[in-house]
Structure 1
């Protein structure tokens, strides 16, 4: 080791979200708040009549979906309704309701209403471009045993090959930046245009069409069954020769199929430049309506909205695992890409893999947390520099900070050699700060000791493999998520707060500070240990939020901001004497 010395669409959506909740629907039954309400839907038991039920109406307005997404109003009417639940469900036009789960649904009657001659109302659904026309279905009965009554008119797409889910990725080349996006399968060619001025994008690159994946690539479960939908066509283009500090404007798409909203970013900062990052885990996604959605992370919208509003001046976002919580439902990846695009098209969006992206029987951790995706959609949608298929560990520098990123969902011994080699190459005079990132935490206040993948079970395994190495390498921060809370330890080694050595300087290394940043969106995990182990200086398992990291050559500061009140609830600073 070298020693320490030596956008307009988004703003429109924000305004819509600011409306009172009752404005979203005129009549519906409250959502169940089940982690996966689509688990109730059994397509094999759906009854499809040969004739339409008389007196049944289902219409949608508008009948065209504009680029960027919109709220659709669904009007339903039933004459002589039975005393039975009714629900409205959203599908793509080519979906088979006897084989595919809806994208989302809304119970409009619970079966306990008083008898009447007719029933009906208007409900709102938020819709985005998923590359196929949209249709709605009205069902009678519970989702477990439903009867299809009628399909609506078709909502056509203004541009089925519209480029969506744009995202920046930092490259291994200091002057590079990769842009990735998705279109419909009918797009013939795509281009990235960029330049120093918004009105003069005088550089262009032909995008590369990436190999996709299909249903057979899934490992099983929901991903291979009722959750499967075509993921579209993936494109990428990499800019090179960019200069730190320069503002780069860009857009992607084509004249034939439309262009993305213009955006801008700043290239990768040099080690001598100060950086400001967002840090968070376990975000998930929320479609901004009142529907039943699988693994709905309502609080995620608060986090992404807040981060977008303060994104100017930020240089990178780091998402430490459990990305979209698609868990086999392919449409959730589209929702997620749409939700993060305003942030991810303004700064590189770097990630670590989590259990909800990878875990499935046959893997190292034989649980079904990925819903059968077994890492395939994640690998293609979030390829990080230097990673291989199903080997998503890597490292990167960002300004004066070095990140070593591993997978807690793969064999740890296989990654040990990589970590040794990576940390050995770090020059602390160039990047004085080192962050070790893993989705599952090495230290966590949790009562979960389950086998094989309980919080404490996995934390023990991680410590056995990496703790001594990270202390010897003088890693500053161990960053994790997984537990849906915010937690911060003292500098810790072998379960205890470390103390300064005799005659140590004020900024002498004590040990890594362990951070759990799993509070960005998924439902809070409240199984906190009582009494609290003394190594924890801050634990919040009741609120959601995100972290800011700011660093230069001598100071690294991290702040935890809650999204319910927008204020900082924890802050700590590490200092370093310049070499």
Structure 2
């Protein structure tokens, strides 16, 4: 073998080692065959938190006269408890929704499996309630849609031992075609009927029509979140607590300036958080504030200017966003600079949507950007105890959940950032 051949072999080996994997081709939108069912059979069942020790069961029936109640218990087929709820429906141009049922059940025991049936007929479902104390695990995937990659993401999340799913906006990608809301509900039912799904709105939920529809009507009707339970006057932003974690779900597409209802609500909500009882504080919304991808540059700047000082003053530990169809993790950051008392920002808008990946990043990589990759996947936030959490991101472009990024995060409540002398900005929460 001469010198030229040796060099060629070395270059081929180097290229093979440098290539992490061969990126697969896009996958098509899923098609759902028509399935004949009884008009009163519950469909699109999903679960969400609804205040302390309570869950909300939501489902849809074609039959508008179907009752809104849930029978449940801790043994299969034995329902010794019953809760009655409410229902709604909506029309959208020529589309008329089925009857949308929302029923709150509880009080429930933590870390307990319950069996339930909706409306007195149909399949029996089972769910697992979240724990009352650490550890607690959140699965995270935004911008889901209904493609083959969405199915792959959901399959991988199903392998995760998680307690709650967080979805930072862009759910169904219905984009005005209302039947796609129905197929999305069908697609996620196996997971969403078994664990609470906590969502916030994205731009694909807006669906406004000038002079006819204001927007978010479909989203608000189908995905009722615990906004009333958390003192909010809008389903577009709310908060909840679980196992020592306080989570604020914010609206990138609701008013957020200092004179807005969302700003006033958030300030009041954060000021009441007891970090001794809930040492972890998370925030989630759709449009990222820290984004080194070329896609959607600057779109979160207005919200960041208004809301970031509140989150910093409250010592929010982690911020989860979507919108950009790629993954990125920041260092602790505030006001554009590294700050040991700032939040870790995670962009995870890579659930599998039909628009594809955002492949182009800015070069050079900003100092605050620790890890970034344009692949589909999901995240897992395992909050182990009051001081430590393990974040991992699992790329699924390989058809197997490959853990591509992982980091331990220490809570700000244990780092000294809550001390008044260390965190003067906290006074913003107490100001009138």
Instruction: Indicate the TM-score class for this superposition, using the shorter chain for normalisation.
Output: 0.7 to 0.9
State the match for 2:155 in structure 1.
305
Residues 391 and 167 of structure 1: is their aligned pair in 2 closer, same or farther, counting only changes over 3 Å? closer
State the match for 1:159 in structure 2.
38
1:298, CA displacement in angstroms?
2.7
Larger Rg: 1
Residues 175 and 444 of structure 1: is their aligned pair in 2 closer, same or farther, counting only changes over 3 Å? same
State the match for 1:505 in structure 2.
none
Cα distance in 1 for residues equivalent to 2:130 and 2:40: 31
State the match for 2:143 in structure 1.
282
Q: Kindly indicate whether residue 316 of structure 2 is the aligned counterpart of residue 480 of structure 1.
A: no
Cα distance in 1 for residues equivalent to 2:102 and 2:152: 29
| Match among 106, 117, 120 for residue 240 of structure 1 | 106
Q: CA RMSD in A?
A: 2.5
Cα distance in 2 for residues equivalent to 1:158 and 1:245: 33
Cα distance in 2 for residues equivalent to 1:32 and 1:429: 46
Residues 27-49 of structure 1: CA distance to partner in whole angstroms, max 9, x if unpaired? xxxx996x9xxxxxxxxxxxxxx
Output aligned runs, 1:392-403, within 5 Å.
392-403=236-247
Q: Kindly indicate whether residue 91 of structure 2 is the aligned counterpart of residue 259 of structure 1.
A: no
| Match among 431, 438, 442 for residue 285 of structure 2 | 438
Output aligned runs, 1:283-362, within 5 Å.
283-285=144-146, 297-310=147-160, 313-358=161-206, 360=208
| Match among 343, 358, 362 for residue 525 of structure 1 | 358
State the match for 1:511 in structure 2.
342
Cα distance in 1 for residues equivalent to 2:194 and 2:214: 28
Output aligned runs, 1:13-412, within 5 Å.
126-129=32-35, 157-172=36-51, 174-208=52-86, 210-215=87-92, 224=93, 228-254=94-120, 258-260=121-123, 262-270=124-132, 272-285=133-146, 297-310=147-160, 313-358=161-206, 360=208, 374-387=215-228, 391-412=235-256
Q: Kindly indicate whether residue 417 of structure 2 is the aligned counterpart of residue 570 of structure 1.
A: no
5+ residue gaps in structure 2?
1-25, 417-432
Contact kept in structure 2, 1:327 and 1:373, CA below 8 Å:
no
Contact kept in structure 2, 1:170 and 1:268, CA below 8 Å:
no
Instruction: Report the TM-score, using the length of structure 1 for normalisation.
Output: 0.61
Aligned partner of residue 127 in structure 1, secondary structure: coil
Cα distance in 2 for residues equivalent to 1:426 and 1:359: 34
State the match for 2:22 in structure 1.
none
Cα distance in 1 for residues equivalent to 2:41 and 2:268: 43
Residues 339 and 389 of structure 1: is their aligned pair in 2 closer, same or farther, counting only changes over 3 Å? farther
Aligned partner of residue 445 in structure 1, secondary structure: coil
Residues 407 and 250 of structure 1: is their aligned pair in 2 closer, same or farther, counting only changes over 3 Å? same
Contact kept in structure 2, 1:308 and 1:342, CA below 8 Å:
no
Residues 371-408 of structure 1: CA distance to partner in whole angstroms, max 9, x if unpaired? 96710000011111125786511111121211111111
State the match for 1:548 in structure 2.
380
Q: Kindly indicate whether residue 289 of structure 2 is the aligned counterpart of residue 466 of structure 1.
A: no
1:211, CA displacement in angstroms?
2.3
Residues 23-70 of structure 1: CA distance to partner in whole angstroms, max 9, x if unpaired? xxxxxxxx996x9xxxxxxxxxxxxxxxxxxxxxxxxxxxxxxxxxxx
1:362, CA displacement in angstroms?
6.2
5+ residue gaps in structure 1?
1-30, 36-103, 105-124, 130-156, 216-223, 286-296, 364-370, 449-454, 499-508
Cα distance in 2 for residues equivalent to 1:535 and 1:273: 30
1:410, CA displacement in angstroms?
1.6
Residues 359 and 334 of structure 1: is their aligned pair in 2 closer, same or farther, counting only changes over 3 Å? closer
Contact kept in structure 2, 1:441 and 1:459, CA below 8 Å:
yes
Aligned partner of residue 532 in structure 1, secondary structure: coil
Residues 116-157 of structure 1: CA distance to partner in whole angstroms, max 9, x if unpaired? xxxxxxxxx64144xxxxxxxxxxxxxxxxxxxxxxxxxxx2
1:178, CA displacement in angstroms?
1.1
Residues 339-371 of structure 1: CA distance to partner in whole angstroms, max 9, x if unpaired? 1111111111110100111264769xxxxxxx9
Contact kept in structure 1, 2:175 and 2:207, CA below 8 Å:
no
1:196, CA displacement in angstroms?
1.1
1:302, CA displacement in angstroms?
0.4
In terms of mean alpha carbon deviation, does 376-385 or 397-406 score higher? 397-406
Instruction: Report the TM-score, using the length of structure 2 for normalisation.
Output: 0.81
Cα distance in 2 for residues equivalent to 1:281 and 1:478: 13
Residues 173-221 of structure 1: CA distance to partner in whole angstroms, max 9, x if unpaired? x12111110001354325412111113222223443x121113xxxxxx
Cα distance in 2 for residues equivalent to 1:246 and 1:158: 31
Cα distance in 2 for residues equivalent to 1:361 and 1:180: 26
State the match for 1:558 in structure 2.
391
Contact kept in structure 1, 2:224 and 2:235, CA below 8 Å:
no
Aligned partner of residue 456 in structure 1, secondary structure: coil
State the match for 2:422 in structure 1.
none
Cα distance in 2 for residues equivalent to 1:164 and 1:264: 15
Residues 32 and 282 of structure 1: is their aligned pair in 2 closer, same or farther, counting only changes over 3 Å? closer
Aligned partner of residue 435 in structure 1, secondary structure: strand
Cα distance in 2 for residues equivalent to 1:32 and 1:482: 19
Contact kept in structure 2, 1:251 and 1:259, CA below 8 Å:
yes
